[in-house]
Structure 1
Amino acid sequence: MTDSVDRIKLYAYGKINLSLRVLNRRADGYHNIDSLMQDIGLYDVITIEKCLPNSTKTGLSRCDIFQVVVYLNSGAKEISNGMDNLALKGVKAVLEELPGSRICDLKALEIDIDKRLPIAAGIAGGSGNAAATMLGLNALLGFPLSLRELMRIGTEIGADVPFSLMINAYRNYQSLMNLNGIKEASSAARVRGIGDIVKPVNSIHRHIILANPGISVSTKEAYEALDSFAAGVQKEELFVNDFEKHTLKVYPEAAELKIYMENNLRADHVLMSGSGPTIIAYYPDKAIAEDDFSRMIQFSSSRKNLRVWLTETGSPQ
């Protein structure tokens, strides 16, 4: 929620893929996809505050983006504090889009990321950080950019950023109600092209168990590996993910986890999200999901790096 005109706190929700087909590699090197994506009830917390330039801010990295000084706490030692950080890319994208007269009074920003989602896990944690930062900065500047304008420039940051902007506008409605186009925001969408074509759809509500084996998967490497496979068919299907061909072959921890969940849980479907390695079990029945979650907690006690969560996907429209 917004604490003052100079400070805003937003929740950066993750996403899952109910389906993900990688169709073909384009001439520019990017890949066309066709995916059904939904939000999940897990998030990082992003706080953005206007401040004065102060070189003595302890424990924060400093970057100069145009004339604006940005202090960042990235939330985890594994995450860069430099300009390859997606939140900082989000700041740059917004400032680059606006005329100098609109940002001339903005001297410095402090961005704090309370990192709760796993890193490089296929649930758009980094993209959600970029999206929430863009939405928050846009709010502090008086909402000069519409949701669709933010989604357009977000495409340059990453394929998941436009959808992340949509779900995080939807989830943070009370803080962003003056955003032009926010009524179009949704918790679910069909995403095509290179992530730039986002069409809201009705969500499918499910209780879900997320299990992450504690490894990171490079999305770039996963896309490159898929070039050696046949291109995905252009048929909309649920609960299919082309990235499983690569990730489950290269990362045995993810493959073993999926096999365990398929054989020991009572989920309707078990599917990897994004490029992995997070594996999702889907349930229409809350009680069964809760019972299976207890089983996964017990299983994780003997697996050092395994983390599990119980939440929901497809928040009410």
Structure 2
Amino acid sequence: MDTIILKARGKINLTLDVVGKRDNGYHDLRMIMQTINLHDTITITKTKTEGIRINNNLAWLPKDDKNITYKAAAKFLEESNIKAGIYIDIFKRIPVAAGLAGGSSDAAAVLVGLNKLFGTHYSKRQLMKMGVEIGADVPFCILRGTALAEGIGEVLTPLPSLPPMHILLAKPNISVSTASVYKALNIAEIEKHPETDDYVEAIKRQDIDYMTTHMGNVLEDVTIKMHPQIEEIKQDMIRMGALGSMMSGSGPTVFGIFPSKYEATLAAEYFKNKCGLREVHVTSTFCKAKREGKRRHERKRYKHKHEDK
């Protein structure tokens, strides 16, 4: 196998709490993260000439060692002591600098893809250990599904898959620096923390009503002060039928959970045509259990098919 194609799926935060700050400047977090089906496409090809080459469909994105996928490939080759040529083509759909972990997911896909391409048989845990040195969200993007994330985001506890949910993403025509948001955050001034433990229990009992009405993100107050249109988008989503709406990560993307794909699509048209937002996407929650069940079924069907011959 010389080429592999992977889906690098984005994420949203259903809760995001900041519970402390370390001496090194990093913040201790407690949050529930959820993979969504909006994805970038990553194509990795072995080449005869040693080195890492990057291409993508956005001309302004870096194609050198400043690109996080380059860093992921370099880390993998260093850890595995492999000397090889790699060409990585990235087709971006996930908005950039948007609180959706698009770059982290691309890096995660590169680690997973190279592991398959070179047959190195690293475990998921080993890949996640590599990933955290590239970015705090990379381990979750390797794990995928639904998880409680702690530490700087790298301490992960898998949770049951969410019921299928229709998600609308709307990114204002701005970008937000994650570093600037955390720098402006004063933990002592946080008035309301998400009820993360209760939210975990709601996920376990599949309580959609609780999940849609008890989301919380302590970074919202900081980012909304910088960009008030985020609050306007949230309120518009609720007005248009969202069961719940919140900013993802440090922003600026707002997501809404809608009762149906039809209602999410109608709201998407409003944000595109009436509000002039360039990056609006209708997607859904990624169900890890369903996907793994499908894979088991396909393997079983393949086995039976060949046993019959």
Structure 1 and Structure 2 fold alike (TM over 0.5): yes
For 2:211, the equivalent position in structure 1 comes to none
- Amino acid of the structure 2 residue aligned with 1:10: L
Residue identity matched to 2:127: L
Partner of 2:229: 253
Q: Indicate how the Cα distance of structure 1 residues 198 and 218 shifts in structure 2: closer, same or farther if over 3 A, else same.
A: same
| Alignment match, 2:4 | 8
SS at match of 1:274: coil
- Give the TM-score taking structure 2 as reference length: 0.82
SS for the counterpart of 1:47 is strand
Number of matched pairs: 271
Residue in 2 that maps onto 1:217: 176
The whole-number CA distance in structure 2 between the counterparts of 1:149 and 1:115 is: 26
CA RMSD of aligned residues (A): 1.9
Partner of 1:178: none
In structure 2, do the counterparts of structure 1 residues 301 and 229 end up closer, same or farther at CA, with 3 Å as the change threshold? farther
Q: 1:272 corresponds to which residue?
A: 247
Secondary structure of 1:165 counterpart: helix
Which of residues 38, 63, 66 in structure 2 aligns to 1:84? 66
Q: 2:125 matched to which residue of 1?
A: 148
1:260-291 Cα offsets, whole Å, 9 max, x none, are 223x22222111111111111113x32xx412
The residue number in structure 1 matching 2:75 is 93
| Alignment partner, residue 50 of structure 1 | 46
Cα deviation for residue 257 of structure 1 reads 1.5
Which string of whole-angstrom CA distances, capped at 9 and with x for unpartnered residues, describes residues 99-155 of structure 1? x3xx14x2x111100111111111110001100011111111213421101111211
- For structure 2, which runs of at least 5 residues remain unmatched after alignment? 200-213, 290-309
- Whole-Å separation in 2 of the counterparts to 1:306 and 1:261: 16
How many percent of aligned residue pairs carry the same amino acid? 38
Bigger mean CA deviation after superposition, 302-311 or 112-121: 302-311
Report the AA paired with residue 36 of structure 1: I
TM-aligned CA deviation for residue 242 of structure 1: 1.1
From 242, 258, 268, give the equivalent of 2:218. 242
SS at match of 1:44: strand
Query: Which structure: greater helix fraction?
Result: 2
1:194 matched to 2:176:
no
Instruction: Give the superposition deviation at 1:229.
Output: 5.2
* Separation of aligned partners in 1, 2:276 and 2:103: 24
Instruction: Tell me the CA shift for residue 82 of structure 1.
Output: 2.3
